[in-house]
Structure 1
Amino acid sequence: MNACTELWVDTDVSIGLEHFPGFYRDIDDALALLLLFSSPLVTLRGVSSTFGNTDAKHARVIAAKLTERFGPKGLQVRQGAAGPIKKGAPLPASDASWAMADALRQAPMTIVSLGAATNIAVLIASHPELVDNIQGIVAMAGSRSMPGEEFIVGPRQLRPFSALNFEADVEAWRIILESNVPLTFAPFSLSHQIWITKEDARSLENTGDTGSYLAPYMYKWAREWTDLYGSPGFNPFDALAAGYLLAPGFFGGVELPVGILEPGERGNNRDVPCLIVSDAMGNCRRATSLRSLNQGFKPFFLEALRGGLSMTTSVLGLSHINIVVDDMDKATEFYGRALGFQMAYNDAGAIDFPHYTSPAFARDAGFLDGKVDVDVRFLRHPQAGLCLELMCYHAPECCRDIVFHKTGDIGGPRHVALEVADICAVFEHLKKQPEVRMINPSPDYGPPENLGTSTISFFYWLDPYGVQWEMEQGRPLGFGREISG
């Protein structure tokens, strides 16, 4: 997912509503909304209400209160359809569908479906000319097995949960499946991989505004699940659809056929249709089904819900690596030859500023007299997307000695790691570069070996400017797993 993805959220949010005294309706939609509100990675174009956990009217009121308190200023919440699509009947009119259409006329966006999909289906059926502007639909729906999964969360649960987001309006999903909109499903089996406990809820008490607001509701819901079902806590259901949009690297998915299995069809002994995402569906329309959730998602999720400044969501990615050099052209040639870096360009041309003397730059860099003379050049790796910022200082006078550290020396970043496709070939390539020093000069160092039963292998080397690099092969890209060095 690219930064600043534009989203519309369609929700049956019901936080704070009671089933009956002391027992509350689902809070997962509220978790999803507040998770999205917390992130600079998305731009919310609108929110609309639908039915499921509650009716669309109550959902609109609750969503409006949450948006006013925690959401972006000016974000509108639209009233959705009151009931499902009936086969052969006119489509239910709603302000939500028209508002989504207006938003799509302005720019493409992704729709997050957290309740009955009525509003989305009406949009698709009423405005086919806008369908190509729907970049995707991400929904909490879709079973991965035939004839469908049993939604059981604990040993004391007598009846399985229903697939509410699908069953609330089956006809809506027939319309959606007939379109060409890319679909991503977060099924029940995915949410069953994460449990939010009473202790997790308490950890949000007295944190930021969001965490302090959510903590009592999360605690009550976790306690309700434990008391009623014997589960360790609750599954955050719809919040995983939002989580996927913010941190897709925590999720593993697969593209599979998707279709609706009617009652009595191919082993479906239930009295309702099932939405199945499985190879067993044959040559059907295809969709992405999220199947696995990395354990690192839970701390990310809880931290993002605290509110206030969260570095978990504030850090967007690696900007660049700065290296101070003694000769700009020599360094440019070396990093091009050794690692494949090329000159970086923007709309104005090469990002190259010889003899840069900005007083503001000098003060930001710590030279409070405002005096500096420095060459600045950015290089970019065309495959990895990694940027180097090379600087060659002419003034003020600074230390010119390069210190070559050993691997275990304390202080500073000890290495920068790059994933490579053929580590042995890269090892031999770098050994041939006259300026390169392997971390151990012994002829016995290398070639790289696999780490025990792991497929990961790596080696360290030093460039002529004192930067230690790690070249690595075998780690799944996306986020750190089996960290070795």
Structure 2
Amino acid sequence: MPEMAAGKTAVWIDTDPSVSPGVHEVDDGFALIQAFNSPELEIRGVSVVYGNAPFEAAWPIGQEIVAMFGPKGLKCYAGASRAEQLGEETDASRAMAAALKKERLTILALGPVTNVATLLKNHPELSGQITAIVAVAGRRPDQHFSAGNKNAPPFRDFNFELDAPGFQVLLDSKAPIVLAPWEVSSKVWMKRVDIDRLAAASDGARYLVKPASDWLGMWSDKFGTDGFNPFDTLAVGFVTSPDLIECEDLPAEIRSLPDDTKPQKPANKPYLIVSKDFASKRTLRYCHTPKPGFKDDLMRRLLK
């Protein structure tokens, strides 16, 4: 078993990075820099999955961030390029399995869960080695992911919807699951003043500045907001700073309901929903409220 300092948590990060200049989602980049600058974590590996970007774009971005800013010796593994690869072994699923055979791990699932679901589908005996899977997904009943004042259509529950069957594999497993959903991340805002602070900080912080500036501009134009939500950072924060995020244990189900992002074409789609009123025996930890100190804690890690 690898040696680990007292008080540290061994983690595996599965991510779909797209952080780059232009209008590209930046939260995985923020979450990776946050994790790399968190002494509470022992990062055993990083794997890349499709999602915010096609795999062909995400893979070199993931490799670059790990090589430039990750702990010395940290390896990056290629995972699934599409949801249809659920159950197909990749370098990512094999490496996760090998790591779990050595020690218990918390898995930060920052993108679609195809890599993690493949691990559990092919190696169900390893579910007991998983301390928790922290996924960026989920909602309460009748909750819509809306931002700003321009009446833009609600967001999709992006990671979940890209591989709902994969998430069902997680629900069917015995692995503990934590949700860091839109509800909790929608209460944290990265604004121009925050990006300006990054520009005067470390190389890792400066790496985020141009992509974050472009992303901020898109949010302003499309949603009328003066900031954006750094979604994936709440998943990392649950592990590094659990005292700064309020959560509760709730039953969860996948249900088919009308698509709230396409009101003119109300075909059904799957939703990952939690509710105290559900009879489901599958209970997840659902994070819903960041405490006042969370933003300062996040910025401190990003600025290192």
Q: What TM-score does the superposition give when structure 2 sets the normalisation length?
A: 0.92
Q: How many angstroms apart in 2 are the aligned matches of 1:51 and 1:165?
A: 10
Higher relative contact order (CA closer than 8 Å, sequence separation 6+):
2
Q: 1:292 and 2:289 equivalent?
A: yes
Q: How many angstroms apart in 2 are the aligned matches of 1:188 and 1:284?
A: 23
Q: Look up the match of 2:120.
A: 124
Q: CA deviation at 1:43?
A: 0.5
Q: CA deviation at 1:17?
A: 5.7
Q: How many angstroms apart in 2 are the aligned matches of 1:83 and 1:10?
A: 14
8 Å contact from structure 2 (residues 104, 130) kept in 1: yes
8 Å contact from structure 2 (residues 24, 211) kept in 1: no
Q: Look up the match of 2:8.
A: 4
The 5-angstrom pairing of residues 51-450 of structure 1 reads 51-85=50-84, 91-144=87-140, 146-147=141-142, 149-263=143-257, 271-307=268-304
8 Å contact from structure 1 (residues 83, 92) kept in 2: no
Q: 1:13 and 2:17 equivalent?
A: yes
Q: Look up the match of 1:338.
A: none
CA 1:251–1:52 in 2, change beyond 3 Å: closer, same or farther? same
8 Å contact from structure 1 (residues 198, 218) kept in 2: no
Q: How many angstroms apart in 2 are the aligned matches of 1:244 and 1:157?
A: 31
CA 1:110–1:231 in 2, change beyond 3 Å: closer, same or farther? same
8 Å contact from structure 2 (residues 183, 288) kept in 1: yes
Deviation track 1:122-165 (CA, whole Å, cap 9, x = no partner) reads 10010112111011100110102x24x22111111422111111
Q: How many angstroms apart in 2 are the aligned matches of 1:17 and 1:82?
A: 22
Q: How many angstroms apart in 1 are the aligned matches of 2:267 and 2:228?
A: 26
Q: How many angstroms apart in 2 are the aligned matches of 1:85 and 1:286?
A: 27
Q: What TM-score does the superposition give when structure 1 sets the normalisation length?
A: 0.58
Code of the residue aligned with 2:234 in structure 1: it is L
Structure 2: segments with no counterpart, 5+ residues: 1-5, 259-265
Q: CA deviation at 1:226?
A: 1.2
Q: How many angstroms apart in 2 are the aligned matches of 1:277 and 1:60?
A: 32
8 Å contact from structure 1 (residues 190, 292) kept in 2: yes
Q: How many angstroms apart in 2 are the aligned matches of 1:17 and 1:220?
A: 7
Q: How many angstroms apart in 2 are the aligned matches of 1:57 and 1:216?
A: 21
CA 1:272–1:17 in 2, change beyond 3 Å: closer, same or farther? farther
CA 1:278–1:306 in 2, change beyond 3 Å: closer, same or farther? same
8 Å contact from structure 1 (residues 209, 306) kept in 2: no
Q: Look up the match of 1:463.
A: none
Code of the residue aligned with 2:39 in structure 1: it is P
Q: How many angstroms apart in 2 are the aligned matches of 1:183 and 1:128?
A: 15
Bigger helix fraction: 2
Q: CA deviation at 1:294?
A: 0.9
Code of the residue aligned with 2:20 in structure 1: it is G
Q: How many angstroms apart in 1 are the aligned matches of 2:239 and 2:211?
A: 24
RMSD (Å) for aligned C-alpha atoms:
1.7
8 Å contact from structure 2 (residues 19, 208) kept in 1: no
Q: How many angstroms apart in 1 are the aligned matches of 2:225 and 2:248?
A: 28
Q: CA deviation at 1:8?
A: 0.6
Structure 1: segments with no counterpart, 5+ residues: 19-23, 308-485
After TM superposition, where is structure 1 displaced by more than 4 Å over at least 4 residues in a row?
Answer: none
Deviation track 1:62-81 (CA, whole Å, cap 9, x = no partner) reads 11100111001111111111
Q: How many angstroms apart in 2 are the aligned matches of 1:3 and 1:226?
A: 41
Q: CA deviation at 1:214?
A: 1.7
Deviation track 1:55-114 (CA, whole Å, cap 9, x = no partner) reads 22322211110011100111111111111147xxx7233111111001111111010011
8 Å contact from structure 1 (residues 85, 172) kept in 2: no
Q: 2:210 aligns to what SS in structure 1? A: helix
Q: Look up the match of 1:436.
A: none
Code of the residue aligned with 1:25 in structure 2: it is H
Q: CA deviation at 1:223?
A: 2.3
8 Å contact from structure 2 (residues 12, 106) kept in 1: yes
Q: 1:280 aligns to what SS in structure 2? A: coil
